[in-house]
């Protein structure tokens, strides 16, 4: 487990970059953190780190955004409105899991039971307007 304090969105992206460096493909990254904590911001850094050059935005309406063409494909989920297994199946979550890309899930609290032991957890706590505490577990970071 490793903890980082960031004081700007750019610093949060930089932490995500460190995580992107150690990914091998096939990982599930599960966020925990409130509204506006910085989950989408972190995902933006992750995508950049994997060489994806397009926009990274909240998948609120689509449920999942695909960022293709980087080192690994990224499937960016917003689980906010996912309730139960049937919902989750219909999003393609389990199909994507088998494809070797990276799954990133905001509001992973809602899919707790579907997360394996090897899930990487990213907990973001809001300490102030611009300050965040980011705790990453389930992976070795340098
Ligand atoms: N240190 C920081 N790290 C990340 N974001 C920060 C930081 N300081 C301020 N912010 C601001 O906090 C907001 C984070 O928004 P973001 O969309 O990433 O949150 P989120 O956790 O995805 O929210 P939601 O649950 O609504 O999807 C942005 O407006 C960003 O500019
Ligand atoms: Mg978000």
Predicted confidence (pLDDT) per residue in 13-35, tens digit: 999 999 999 999 999 999 999 99
For the chain, which domains are there?
2-132 (3.40.50.300)
**With 90 as the cut, is the pLDDT of residue 97 above it?**
no
Take atom 8 of ligand 1 and give the residue whose Cα is closest: 130
Q: Are 100 and 26 in contact (CB under 8 A)?
A: yes
49 lines ligand 1 (CB under 6 A): no
**In the block, which residue shows the tokens 């389990």?**
94
The DSSP result for 82-133, as a single string, is --HHHHHHHTTHHHHHTTTSEEEEETGGGGGGG--TTPEEEEEEE-SSS-EE
Average pLDDT over residues 99-120: 95
Q: How far is the CA of 39 from the centre of ligand 2 (A)?
A: 5
C-alpha distances (whole Å) from 67 to each of 36, 103, 125, 139 are 21, 10, 26, 22
Atom of ligand 1 nearest to the CA of 8: 1
**In the block, which residue shows the tokens 């509001």?**
107
Residues above pLDDT 90, as percent of the chain: 93
Take atom 24 of ligand 1 and give the residue whose Cα is closest: 35
Q: How far is the CA of 124 from the centre of ligand 1 (A)?
A: 10
**With 90 as the cut, is the pLDDT of residue 98 above it?**
no
């Amino acid at each position: 487990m490793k903890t980082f304090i960031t004081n700007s969105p750019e610093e949060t992206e930089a932490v995500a970059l460190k995580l992107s460096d150690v990914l091998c493909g096939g990982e599930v990254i599960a966020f925990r953190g409130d509204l506006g904590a910085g989950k989408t911001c972190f995902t933006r850094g992750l995508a950049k780190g994997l060489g994806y050059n397009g926009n990274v935005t909240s998948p609120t309406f689509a449920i999942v955004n695909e960022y293709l063409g980087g080192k690994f494909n990224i499937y960016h989920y917003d689980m906010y409105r996912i309730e139960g297994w049937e919902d989750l199946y219909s999003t393609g979550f389990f199909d994507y899991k088998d494809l070797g890309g990276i799954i990133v899930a905001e509001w992973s609290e809602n899919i707790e039971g579907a997360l394996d032991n090897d899930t990487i957890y990213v907990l973001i706590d809001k300490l102030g307007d611009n300050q965040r505490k980011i705790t990453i577990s389930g992976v070795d970071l340098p």
